[in-house]
């Protein structure tokens, strides 16, 4: 029973983001990165299990791996030393009273040094802000990490100075979402962050250009699932919507058009065909486009794709 599955490092050879095979594993730093697009794949990598088979509990302890996984969301990547408040020394012995004062002073200075200079402090508070915003929007950890990496790169390249930190944070998050193929619209990010949409857009374009993020334009398919959920539409509508998009793609009706508008139109058609219609208004609300746009798109698609919209 023991040990068989102790070591379970999942082998990945391909980046789920860009399908590149340039995956770099840095065992010293505990990072797996796609060299092409910079996606962090830490979830696949960090193995908290014991080092090797253990035959008794003493061995299990001595071979256990130590510490929490690294992450990019703490300003020091979660690797800092922390002096515990137990008055015990490295061997677990209680520290004699006459040395207590000394230990307290060490702790105090250690804490002060850890977050010492201004840039560290700023980074720490920026990453807190990032986390707050991300949880507001209900975004998964992987996106927060990816966004944090983008923000860090921005700092390293001196791209932040002179810009509003919150705006850059929002832009990093927007970029992170797109990088993870779970795009939010600029409008959604702007609402959650309570920052002007245009400014976030500007900061995003700047980051994207300077860091060479090379993000492809978002595709309508990526919005269908989320919009359908918000509209309380089932899998059948989603599937039908994706089908409509691919037909529209084949007919060349999608190039140059806004992806959210296309997704909205596809959902409008799909919902009718599947017998659970939604009003243009309802769809326009969740998709962040106007009814007029939905109309224009869906007319085009329905006509040229020869769709019979009667359910």
Catalog residues that contact DNA under the rule CB under 7 A: 198, 201, 205, 256-258, 261, 277, 279-281, 288-293, 295-297, 299
Q: Which is nearer to DNA, 32 or 231 (CB)?
A: 231
161, 108 Cβ separation under 8 angstroms: no
- Smallest distance, Å, CB 290 to DNA? 4
Nearer to DNA, 50 or 220 (CB): 220
What is the rounded CA–CA span in Å between residue 95 and residue 100? 7
Least gap, CB of 277 to DNA (angstroms)? 6
The minimum distance between CB 205 and DNA, in angstroms, equals 6
Q: What are phi and psi of 35, to 5 degrees?
A: -70, -20
Q: Least distance from C-beta 221 to DNA, angstroms?
A: 15
Minimum distance, C-beta of residue 180 to DNA, in the bound complex (Å): 22
Which residue(s) pair with 33 in the sheet? 24, 40
Q: Which is nearer to DNA, 25 or 219 (CB)?
A: 219
Judged by CB, which is closer to DNA: 147, or 199? 199
Which residue number, 139 or 264, has a Cβ lying nearer to DNA?
Answer: 264
* Backbone dihedral angles phi then psi of residue 250, each to the nearest 5 degrees: -60, -30
Comparing CA positions, the residue from 63, 68, 58 lying closest to residue 6 is: 63
Q: CB of 171: closest distance to DNA in angstroms?
A: 14
Nearer to DNA, 181 or 300 (CB): 300
């Amino acid at each position: 029973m023991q040990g068989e599955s102790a070591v379970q490092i999942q082998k990945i050879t391909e980046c789920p983001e860009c399908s590149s095979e340039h995956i770099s594993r840095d065992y010293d730093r505990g990072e797996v990165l796609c060299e092409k697009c910079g996606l962090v794949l830490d979830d696949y990598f960090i193995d908290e299990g014991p080092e090797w088979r253990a035959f008794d509990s003493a061995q299990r302890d001595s071979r256990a791996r130590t510490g929490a996984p690294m992450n990019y969301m703490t300003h020091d990547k979660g690797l800092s030393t922390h002096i515990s408040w137990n008055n015990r020394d490295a061997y677990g012995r209680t520290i004699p009273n006459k040395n207590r004062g000394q230990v307290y002073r060490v702790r105090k200075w250690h804490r002060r040094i850890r977050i010492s200079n201004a840039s560290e402090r700023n980074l720490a508070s920026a990453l807190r802000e990032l986390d707050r915003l991300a949880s507001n929007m209900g975004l998964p950890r992987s996106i927060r990490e990816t966004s944090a990496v983008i923000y860090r790169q921005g700092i390293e390249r001196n791209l932040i100075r002179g810009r509003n930190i919150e705006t850059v944070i929002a832009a990093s998050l927007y970029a992170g979402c797109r990088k993870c193929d779970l795009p939010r619209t600029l409008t959604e990010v702007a609402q959650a962050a309570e920052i002007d949409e245009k400014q976030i857009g500007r900061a995003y374009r700047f980051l994207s250009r300077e860091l060479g993020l090379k993000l492809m334009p978002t595709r309508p398919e990526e919005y269908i699932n989320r919009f359908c959920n918000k509209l309380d539409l089932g899998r059948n509508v989603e599937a039908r919507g994706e089908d409509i998009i691919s037909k529209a793609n084949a007919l060349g009706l999608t190039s140059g058009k806004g992806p959210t508008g296309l997704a909205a139109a596809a959902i409008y058609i799909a919902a009718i065909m599947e017998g659970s219609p939604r009003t243009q208004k309802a769809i326009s609300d969740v998709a962040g486009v106007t009814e007029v746009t939905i109309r224009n798109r869906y007319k085009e698609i329905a006509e040229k794709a020869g769709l019979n919209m009667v359910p």
